[in-house]
Amino acid sequence: MKDNVTTLKNASSDILHNLVTMVMGLIIGILVAIHGFHRRTPQPVFKSLLIQRIQKLSISFRNVVFAQIKISAINTLLFILFAFVLLPIWGVHLPFAKTLTILTFMFGLIPILGNLISNTLTFIAALTISLGLAGVALLYLVLVHKLEYFINAKIIGHKINANAWEILLAMLIFESIFGLSGLIAAPIFYAYLKLELKDARLI
């Protein structure tokens, strides 16, 4: 029992740490993306090259964030279909459905991890009704979560001029090396890599 409690505590701490890190990264990225670098005077070589790298990373971040807004909207529409159309057909009304709709969109702005959080909240809400409904909700949410990988790859790939398989491959590689954080960051850094390679005329 103590081992299970310790494991759960560690898992919760890891999730909270990843969430805080991701939110801080988003805030920093947004600030960098909206900040203009105006070079009115000659810059030292190192500073000039550093600014160029930051600008490209900013462009990559901006493209991925705008794509993530579309992905979040799609996830929210799928949740609305589940909570306000499918469940009422079976005579079931999900508790806090309207609140969960808002949270699904808000958390959906955080790649991958946000979807996991909103899915967990939906599962808990379904569990308050019955174990059977929680099982149905879990199955639905797992399918949506897997679908998000392909939606991410398609939408983000279109935004950064990359094929869906390229994004999926980058996500798999980054996840295997860096874990969940790598999975979340993969589209941004892959978009940045493509910008660098294009400017170097290597692709």
Percent of the chain with pLDDT over 90: 8
Provide mean pLDDT across the span 103-130. Answer: 85
Give me the half-sphere count of Cα atoms (radius 13 Å) on the Cβ side of residue 185.
20
Q: What is the pLDDT of residue 20?
A: 63
| CA pair distance 92, 127, nearest whole angstrom | 12
Residue 185 has pLDDT above 70, yes or no: yes
- Check pLDDT > 60 for residue 102: yes
More confident residue, 183 or 123: 123
Asked whether the whole model's pTM tops 0.75, one would answer no
Q: What is the pLDDT of residue 79?
A: 92
Average pLDDT of span 77-93: 90
* Predicted confidence band of residue 133 (pLDDT cuts 50, 70, 90): confident
Cβ–Cβ under 8 Å, residues 33 and 61: yes
Which residue, among 199, 201, 200, 202, has the nearest Cα to 59 in the 3D structure? Answer: 199
Q: Among 102, 111, 106, 105, which residue's Cα sits nearest to residue 25?
A: 111
